[in-house]
Homo-oligomer: A and B are copies of this chain.
Amino acid sequence: MDATHDAWAGPTVEDLGELAVLDRIVRRLPPGAPVLGPGDDCAVVAAPDGRFVVTTDMMVHGPDFRWAWSSPEDVGWKAAATNLSDVAAMGAVPTGLVIALAAPQDTPVAVLESFADGVRLAVASLAPGCGVVGGDLSTSATFTVSVTAFGDLEGRAPVVRSGARPGDVLAIAGKLGSAARGLTRLFHEGVDAAGEPSREATIASGADSDPDVGRQRRPVPPIAEGPRAARAGATAMLDLSDGLAIDAGRLARASRVTLGLEVMLDDVELHGGEDHGLLATFPADVTLPAGFRRIGVVRERADADLVRADGAAVPTTGWDPYADWDGAAG
């Protein structure tokens, strides 16, 4: 029995009201750097080199997660981790998060507390020193989380997608395919006889304790590797959110190059998303920083192919929320 699932009981947010709920959540969140205490119309965040990087990402019940498969703590972890990963992909060090959350009125307060626990655990594990500097608490028929994350470039230029040059080495940090294997297992084994997401089926099938399912619920992006790559001279970098092939295609298109993969990868490693590893290119004479492994080379663009492996083009397609979500929640 996963303790975090016990969050679905007890007094609701409607029972307690906004202020009491806020008070319960804030104490569980990792505190931001104390440029200014909470309670004003804005937070004040340090930007030591006169710039900051910023990314935002919304997670929605239904298309992005199912309560039958993820605990509130999992959802909090993932909301923080995916945004931290986008900061790392610029070569920046995460400095703060703001979180807007809207929950149905019958949501137990314990669900929001567990969500906050997940945010705190992710930040402590992935980006210690980063904290939540502000937020907004609202209500909605659909449980929705929107995280905005900030980072410090430490005086360096941002590492963008368009900087790869022919002759560079292509390298990745982090896992490939694990989160996608976990999601496939949940879709196949974590459902009831009618095909609906089911917590009971997830446990009975053993999927609940599958490390791949764990990675789907709580991705572990290589956050420290982002600034490390920048310091080592990475010429281009991005976060592998939608799958290696589609994200490599984005880097290749932005840099007007072709990426040649040198390692054998199976379909799920090529096309599975949500692992949030880092894909980066480095000058050929650079010793790859810790955490990165070589998977290919950057070539002149000779034809329309963005990514090639084993002498053939690799399709660079992936998930589209508007076209691909089936409308189900669970």
Give residues in A with beta carbon < 8 Å to B.
13-14, 16-19, 21, 35-36, 39-58, 60-64, 85-87, 89-90, 92, 96, 98-102, 105, 133-142, 144, 146, 148, 150-151, 153, 158, 160-161, 238-239, 254, 320-323, 325, 327, 329
19 contacts between A and B (CB under 8 A): A17-B320, A18-B321, A39-B254, A40-B89, A41-B85, A44-B51, A44-B153, A47-B47, A49-B50, A54-B96, A54-B134, A58-B101, A58-B140, A61-B140, A63-B138, A105-B325, A136-B146, A141-B142, A142-B142
Query: A42-B90, A44-B153, A56-B100 are contacts. A140–B62 as well, Cβ < 8 Å?
Result: yes
Report if A148-B98 is in contact (Cβ < 8 Å); known contacts: A13-B322, A18-B323, A320-B17.
Answer: yes
Are B51 and A45 interface neighbours, CB within 8 A? Answer: yes
Known contacts A50-B50, A141-B62, A254-B39; is A136 also within 8 Å of B18 by CB? no
Query: CA–CA, A61 to B61, complex, Å?
Result: 15
The oligomer's copy count stands at: 2
A326 to chain B, nearest CB (A): 10
Report whether B327 and A105 are in contact in the complex, using a CB–CB cutoff of 8 Å.
yes
Closest to A326 in B: B105
Looking at the assembled complex, report how far the CB atom of A148 sits from the nearest CB atom of chain B, in whole angstroms.
4
Given contacts A40-B90, A141-B62, A158-B36, contact A45 B56 (CB under 8 A): no
Complex Cα distance, B290 from A50, in Å, reads 31
Whether the pair A100, B58 counts as a contact (CB closer than 8 A) is yes
Tell me the smallest distance from the CB of A75 to a CB of chain B, in Å.
15
Binding site secondary structure of chain A? mixed
Alpha-carbon distance A40/B253, docked complex (angstroms): 12
Other than A18-B322, A144-B146, give 4 A-B pairs with Cβ distance below 8 A. Answer: A44-B90, A47-B52, A56-B146, A56-B148
Per the bound structure, the CA–CA distance linking A138 and B141 in Å amounts to 16
In contact, A41 and B148 (Cβ under 8 angstroms): no
Let me know if B21 and A102 touch, CB within 8 A.
no
Write the nearest CB–CB distance from A64 to chain B, whole angstroms: 7
Contact (Cβ within 8 A) A42 B134:
no
Cα A43 to Cα B54 with chains together (Å): 5
Task: Please report the C-alpha to C-alpha distance between residue A47 and residue B53 in the assembled complex, in whole angstroms.
Answer: 10
Most B C-beta atoms less than 10 A away, residue of A54, A85, A134, A135 = A54
B44 and A53: CB pair below 8 A?
yes
Q: Are A47 and B44 in contact (CB under 8 A)?
A: no
User: Which of chain B's residues have a CB closer than 8 A to the CB of A320?
Assistant: 17-19
Q: B21, B52, B160: which contacts A45 (Cβ < 8 A)?
A: B52
Given A35-B51, A50-B47, A158-B36 in contact, is the A141-B329 Cβ separation under 8 Å? yes
CB <8 Å contact, B139 and A325: yes
**Cβ B54 vs Cβ A150 within 8 A:** yes
The answer to whether B321 and A39 have CB atoms under 8 Å apart is no
A142 and B140 within 8 A (CB) = yes
